[in-house]
Amino acid sequence: MDGEESSSQVPRLASTLILLRTDEWGQALVYLLRRSPQSRFMPNLYVFPGGTVHPLDRDPSIWQDHLDQDPEEALRRLSEGLLPEDAIGHVICAIRETFEEAGVLMCENVLPYQVWRGRRGAFHHSARWFRDMVLDEGLRLSVSALAPFAHWVTPVIQQMRFDTRFFIALHPEGQVCSPDPVETVDGKWTKPKEALLGNHRGILPLSPPTLVTLWEIMRLEEEGGLGSLLERTSWGEVRLPRTVRTRWGPLLLMPWDPEYHETRSPSPKSKPSEVDPLEPFSRLIYREGIWIPVKT
């Protein structure tokens, strides 16, 4: 039966980091990780590095002497609509999770690669390992390198829900991405356009927020505005997709969809038609493990 469902699950705070670099021709590349098929959330899909905010991430007293930017200045850039402890929690989480999942440490004085790679593996299941490493080694985390990109909240239909802040940053020179073999099964640098086409062909399945983000980066690059990404100071409007169950599979409406605010749930009378994967879209349908952009 067509219609919407809801969950009483309160979204958990989470963070994601979009790592960006350019190839030898100056074209944008982003780093994606494929989640394990056994993952409880978005299994088998390609996503950006990220995870849940830990209570230690939200304690300013731990981090205030280990940031490359004055804490007040960092809060002015990143705390729009957030409590100070949540703003700190989100940015520390983004750095920590990127290190855990992609092996990249956003830090002024990075340790030798072999040292921090060993730390990541040895203390993977310890909640305090990252804090201990930062304090023990006197590290200064590069919060100034992270810019706000977007604010996503998992649809109410989901049992596992997250309130996620998406950051964007340049990939630090001299470091090599190394996927975590526990939570992920693959990692790759890819052009946004190639990732969108790969999703369309079913060979690089993307999560909905990743799909939208890659389309936005592709369009900004085409318009010559890629540099503005790293100068952002606003999260923008919250993105809470609306999920509708249809006979053809779950239909996901973005907040900019013309029927998003309709009281009555959209009920397509025929199978939604796919759109060109490189064209604008406002809704996705889930078919055989792939989220596909479809027409309104």
Q: Does residue 29 fall inside a structural domain?
A: yes
Question: What sections of 138-253 are H helices per DSSP?
Answer: 192-201, 208-222
What is the number of structural domains in the chain?
1
Q: Are 175 and 105 in contact (CB under 8 A)?
A: yes
Distance CA 168, CA 16 (A): 8
Q: Does residue 7 fall inside a structural domain?
A: no
Output the pLDDT for position 210: 98
Q: Are 180 and 103 in contact (CB under 8 A)?
A: yes
**pLDDT (tens digit per residue) in 96-134:** 999 989 989 999 876 655 566 666 665 555 668 889 889
Output the pLDDT for position 122: 59
Single pTM value for the model: 0.92
Which are the contacts of 267, defined by CB distance < 8 A and separation ≥ 6?
A: 2, 244, 246
Q: Does residue 94 fall inside a structural domain?
A: yes
Q: Does residue 134 fall inside a structural domain?
A: yes
Q: Enter the DSSP assignment of 111.
A: P
pLDDT band at 232 (very low <50, low <70, confident <90, very high): confident
Strand partners, 165: 15, 151
pLDDT band at 149 (very low <50, low <70, confident <90, very high): very high
Does position 146 have pLDDT exceeding 90, yes or no? yes
Q: How far is CA 120 from the centre of its chain?
A: 20
Output the pLDDT for position 69: 94
Q: Does residue 246 fall inside a structural domain?
A: yes
Percent above pLDDT 70 for the chain: 91
Q: Does residue 1 fall inside a structural domain?
A: no
Q: What is the mean pLDDT of the chain?
A: 89
Mean pLDDT in residue range 63-78: 93
Does position 221 have pLDDT exceeding 50, yes or no? yes
Strand partners, 67: 141
Does position 91 have pLDDT exceeding 70, yes or no? yes
Q: Does residue 2 fall inside a structural domain?
A: no
Percent above pLDDT 90 for the chain: 66
Does position 7 have pLDDT exceeding 60, yes or no? no
Q: Does residue 148 fall inside a structural domain?
A: yes
Q: Are 38 and 206 in contact (CB under 8 A)?
A: no
* Domain membership of residue 116 as a residue range: 12-293
Q: Which of 31-40, 155-164, 211-220, 265-274 has the lowest mean pLDDT?
A: 265-274
Mean pLDDT in residue range 153-176: 91
Output the pLDDT for position 37: 82
Q: For residue 232, what is the domain's CATH number? A: 3.90.79.10
Output the pLDDT for position 183: 80
Q: How far is CA 115 from the centre of its chain?
A: 27
Which are the contacts of 187, defined by CB distance < 8 A and separation ≥ 6?
A: 31, 32, 33, 34, 102, 177, 178, 179
Output the pLDDT for position 113: 55
How many CB atoms are closer than 10 A to CB 236? 12
Higher pLDDT, 39 or 116: 39
